[in-house]
Structure 1
C-alpha cells in the first residue's frame, strides 16, 4: 500500500522524532519523580499499584473511542492539545506543592490519570501518521528508529530523574514537563503531517469503534496474531511488573541494582531498535517476530531457575539484556505490519481497538501479580511468563494464517477499500 511521500520526507520525519524525544524524556523524568515521591512518602504497595493501574486503564477503556477522533480530527492538534493539557495540570500540581508542605494524594492521582489519557490520544495518532509520512518500503526502519527514540528515553530518564530528584524540589521538577511540552510543540509546528478528506466526516463513536473491530476481526491472520498477543501479555505482565521485587526480594539486591535491570533492558531495546532501524527491510517479518518470542520465552523462563544470590543476579542482568534486544523485533515489526494492512484513514479506529485488546490483559495480570508472587514466589512468575511466551510463539507458528500473514500482505498490490471489511486470506 503506497503512502503519501512528502518532499524532503527524511528531514520531516527526523524533526518529528526529535520533537517526540524531547517531549517524551521530560515527561518520563517527571513520571519517575512522581512515583519515587509516592514511594518515599507512603511506602505503600497499594498506592503504587493504584498509580500503575491509573496509567494503564485509560488505554484499555478509552482507546476504542479515541480511534474515531484520530481518523477525523487534525492529527497535529491531537498531538499538541494533550501536551498542553498535561502541562497545565503540571503547573497546578507544582503550585499546590509550593503552597503546601506535601502534595495531596488525590491531586497526584488526577495528574497521573490526565497524563495517561493524553498518551491514549497520542499513541494511536503517532502510529497512524507514520505510514503517511514515509515511503512504504521504509516504514519498518522508521518504526525501528521510533523504537530507538523511546528506548533512549527509557535509558536516560531514570538516571536523569534520580539525579534531579536528589537536587531539585519536586514542586519545581514537575515544571520540567512544561518545558518539554513547549520545546516539543515548537518543533512539531514545523513538521508536515498529511491529512485525509475523512477529517471532515462526523464522529460516530460506537459505530466507528465497531467498524474498527469488524475490520480487525475480518483480517485473517492478523486477528489470530492479535488474540495470541493479548494472551501473551496476560502471562507476561505479572513478571514484568515485579522486576524490583525480583531484584531486591529474590536476589537480595539494592535499589541501585533494581535500577540497573531497568537500564540494561532499555539498552537491549535500543540495540534491537537500532538493528531494525538500519537493516529493517525483511520480505517476511513473521520469522523475526517468532524468533523474538522464542528469545523472550527462553530468557524469562531461565530467570526463574537462577539461584537467589548475587551470582544469579549477574546472570539475570545478562538475560534481561538479551530479552531487551528481542522485544523490538516483536513489537516494532508487528506495528509495521498493522500499519501496512489498512488504509491510513482507517488506522485510528483500528489501532484504537487493537491497543485496547493488547492492553486489557495487562491490568488483569497486575491484579494477580502480587498474590501469585506471595504464594508461589516471584521467580515462578518469570517461569510462567517464559513458558507463556513460548506457547504463544508456537501457536502463531502452527496457525498458517498467522505464519504466512506478512508474505500475503506484501504480495497484495491493491490497497484495501475504505469501507469493505474484506478478509485477507493468509
Structure 2
C-alpha cells in the first residue's frame, strides 16, 4: 500500500522504558525539526517524482508491447520481489548503520543503472530481459531505502509530530503520483523513452542533495551508538553474557546475524498486538487487494478499449490517456486522503487504538472499492471509484506508519519496518502468482471481485487486534 534509510540513530519515543531517561532527551531536539523534516520530505519528493515517471513509462511500454498477464506477472516479480528479499537485510541495517547514507546510496546506484538503460534504448539494444534486470536492481535499492527512510523520520521529528509528518509524506507521495503519470503521458508522446529515463537521474541527484543537508540531532546520534551496541549484543547470541560482541566481517557471520535480527524482530512484533495487526494487515491486504490492483492496467486496456471519455478539460481517447487517467484517479484519491489525515488525524487519532481502528476502516474501504473497480462498466464511474480507492489507501498508510514508529522500542524500529516491507512486498508478487494467470483464463473483473471480498476479513482481523491490551513498550530481547 504501497510504493516507497536510516542512521544507526533512533530516538526513544515518548514513554519508552528502554531509554535511560525520560523527558526532552528522549526525542530529537525541538530546535530546527521543521527544517530537517522539510529537507527530508523535499528530497523524497524529488526522488519519488523521477522514479514514478520512469516507472510509469517502463510499465506502459511493457503493457502496450505485450498486453498479457504473464508479462505483467514477470514485471511485478522483478519489480517487487527483490525489495521484499533485500528488506530482510534493510531493516537490521537501518538499526545498525548510518540512515542518511542508506537513504542516499540506493538513489545513486539506481540513477547509475537507469543511465545504462537509457543508453541501451538510445542505441536500440533494449529488450524485455534488460528491463527486467533494471527493475530488479531498482527494487533491491528500495528494499534498503524504505526501512531506512521510515526509521530516519523519528530521528529528525519529535514524537508528537509523527502522524502529521507521516500524513504529509503521504500527501507528497500522492502529489508525485498525480504529477508523474501526467508528465509521463506527455513525455511518452513527445520524446523517446531513453530521454524519459534521464529524468530519474536528475531528480535522484537533487533528492540526495537535500537529504545530505540534514544534520541529525546529537540526542539521536548518542542514542544510535547505544542502540548499535545493544543490537550487536542481541545478534551475537552465542557470545557470553557481558562479553563484548566482536566485529563481524565474515559474510556468513553477517548473514547469520541478519537472520538472527530478523528472528528477534519477528518475535518482538508478534508479541505486540498493534504491531502484529498493522504488519500482518498490510501484508494480507497487499496479497489479496494490491496484487489485483496491479492488473488495473490490463483492466483498462481490455475492458475500455475503444471507449472514449470527454471530461471537458481532457478527452480520453488513446491507451496512454486512459492509463494516465487510471493512475491519476488513484493518486488524486491518495492526495485527498492524505490531506484529510494530515488535517484531522492528529486531533482524532491521538492514541494507538484510534489509529488501529482507522487502519481497519481503511482496509475495509480498499476491499469495497476494489470490488467496485471490477464490476464497473462505465469509464467515468470506474475513475470515481478509483479516486475513492486512493482515499481509502491513504487512510491506512499514515496511521500504519505512526503505530510502527511509536509502538516500537527504539532499537527495534528498523527491524519492524524491515519486517513490514518484506512481508508487504512479498505479499504482492505472491498474490500476482495467483491473480495474474487467472486474468488470462477468466474475466479480469472476477479477479477484482475476489480480491476485494478477501480483503474484508483482513479489516476485521485488524479491528480485533486493536482491542487487545498492549504491553508497556515491550522491550526487545537484546
**Count of residues paired in the alignment:** 407
Task: Summarize the alignment of residues 298-337 of structure 1 with structure 2, pairs less than 5 Å apart.
Answer: 298-306=368-376, 308=377, 312-337=378-403
Q: Distance in 2 between matches of 1:345 and 1:68?
A: 10
Corresponding residue of 2:417: 351
Question: Which of 438, 442, 467 is residue 372 of structure 1 equivalent to?
Answer: 438
Question: Per-residue CA shift, 1:261-312, capped at 9, x if unaligned?
Answer: 2211110100110111222211221222222223223322234443x3xxx2
Question: Which of 183, 186, 198 is residue 163 of structure 1 equivalent to?
Answer: 186
Q: Distance in 2 between matches of 1:47 and 1:246?
A: 14
* SS, match of residue 175 in structure 1: helix
Normalised by the size of structure 2, how large is the TM-score?
0.79
Question: Which of 205, 211, 227 is residue 258 of structure 2 equivalent to?
Answer: 205
- Is residue 2:460 matched to residue 1:394? yes
Corresponding residue of 2:213: 190
Task: Summarize the alignment of residues 88-237 of structure 1 with structure 2, pairs less than 5 Å apart.
Answer: 88-98=112-122, 100-193=123-216, 194-195=220-221, 196-197=224-225, 198-199=227-228, 201=232, 204-237=257-290
Question: Per-residue CA shift, 1:353-377, capped at 9, x if unaligned?
Answer: 2221222221121112233234442
Question: Per-residue CA shift, 1:121-154, capped at 9, x if unaligned?
Answer: 1100011111222121211111101111111111
Describe the shift of the 1:379–1:273 C-alpha distance in structure 2 as closer, same or farther (beyond 3 A): same
Task: Summarize the alignment of residues 286-305 of structure 1 with structure 2, pairs less than 5 Å apart.
Answer: 286-305=356-375
Give how far 1:110 is off: 2.0
Question: Per-residue CA shift, 1:53-91, capped at 9, x if unaligned?
Answer: 111111222212221111111111111111111122122
Task: Tell me if the contact between 1:82 and 1:118 (Cα under 8 Å) persists in the aligned partners.
Answer: yes
Corresponding residue of 1:417: 475
Task: Tell me if the contact between 1:5 and 1:132 (Cα under 8 Å) persists in the aligned partners.
Answer: no
Q: Distance in 2 between matches of 1:303 and 1:141?
A: 30
Corresponding residue of 1:403: 466
Q: Distance in 1 between matches of 2:125 and 2:206?
A: 29
Which shows bigger deviation, 200-209 or 349-358?
Answer: 200-209
* SS, match of residue 29 in structure 1: helix
Describe the shift of the 1:419–1:293 C-alpha distance in structure 2 as closer, same or farther (beyond 3 A): same
Which shows bigger deviation, 255-264 or 16-25?
Answer: 255-264
Question: Which of 37, 41, 45 is residue 17 of structure 1 equivalent to?
Answer: 41
* SS, match of residue 272 in structure 2: coil
Describe the shift of the 1:89–1:373 C-alpha distance in structure 2 as closer, same or farther (beyond 3 A): closer
| Structure 2 portions without partners, runs of 5+ | 1-12, 15-26, 233-246, 248-253, 308-317
Normalised by the size of structure 1, how large is the TM-score?
0.88
Corresponding residue of 1:423: none
Q: Distance in 1 between matches of 2:115 and 2:323?
A: 31
Considering only aligned residues, what root-mean-square deviation do their CA atoms show, in Å? 2.3
Q: Distance in 2 between matches of 1:375 and 1:166?
A: 33
Question: Which of 249, 252, 260 is residue 325 of structure 2 equivalent to?
Answer: 260
Q: Distance in 1 between matches of 2:164 and 2:117?
A: 39
Describe the shift of the 1:394–1:217 C-alpha distance in structure 2 as closer, same or farther (beyond 3 A): closer
Task: Summarize the alignment of residues 32-47 of structure 1 with structure 2, pairs less than 5 Å apart.
Answer: 32-41=56-65, 45-47=69-71
